[in-house]
Structure 1
Amino acid sequence: MRIESVEIFSDRTNAAVMRHPGRAFPGVLVQGDSLHILCQQADAACKEIGRDAPGYEDLNDLRDTLRSYLNHYKATLAEYGMKLPFYEPKLP
């Protein structure tokens, strides 16, 4: 972990806009619990639409991208011994 200054353009709850050092454009900070909810919504949408429906592949790609962000978030918190801000049941 390192500490650096970031430019904060907006600190609106669940939608902070900030620019990381060295980046040309700002990004949006999505809180971990909000990211988890987005993943759950994407899972539900994929289940609802079904594999044979038009647009499923694009929706599934979106779900996979969100899930990769969430997995990176969870691994990073685990690396630093931090608890998740949401509950995930343990798989058997």
Structure 2
Amino acid sequence: MRVENVEIFSDQSNLPVIRHPGRRFPGVLVQGDTLHMLCGLAAEALSDSPDARIELQELHTRLLGMLAHYKTVLNEHQVPLPYAETPDA
């Protein structure tokens, strides 16, 4: 382990946006419990469960929320997006 300074663009609980040293663009820090939940939703969506479509929609909704927060934070700090906008995301 090492300790370095990072730039904190947002420290919203469970969805901080930070820029790691040496990186051009900030990223979203996903907490372990949130990552576990997202993986669980993806696993359920991949199953033959009757609720698979519902779980996939929930996963998509949560990811879109994370992306919306990321875009808002970057816009507030006048940082360009590291990708081209597409209508399906």
Cα RMSD for the two superposed structures: 2.0
1:15-73 Cα distance to aligned partner (Å, 9 max, x none)? 10000000000000000010000000000011147xxxxxxxxx8xxxxxxxxxxxxxx
Structure 2 residue aligned with 1:25:
25
Aligned 1:34-73 pairs, distance under 5 A:
34-48=34-48
Q: Give unpaired runs (5+ residues) of structure 1.
A: 50-58, 60-92
Q: What is the TM-score of this pair, normalised by structure 1?
A: 0.51
Q: What is the CA–CA distance in structure 1 between the aligned matches of 2:34 and 2:2, rounded to whole Å?
A: 24
Q: SS at the partner of 1:5?
A: coil
Structure 2 residue aligned with 1:73:
none
Moved over 6 A (4+): none
Structure 1 residue aligned with 2:14:
14
Equivalent pairs, count: 51
Q: What is the TM-score of this pair, normalised by structure 2?
A: 0.53
Q: What is the CA–CA distance in structure 1 between the aligned matches of 2:33 and 2:48, rounded to whole Å?
A: 23
Q: What is the CA–CA distance in structure 2 between the aligned matches of 1:26 and 1:39, rounded to whole Å?
A: 23
Q: SS at the partner of 2:8?
A: strand
Identity in percent: 64
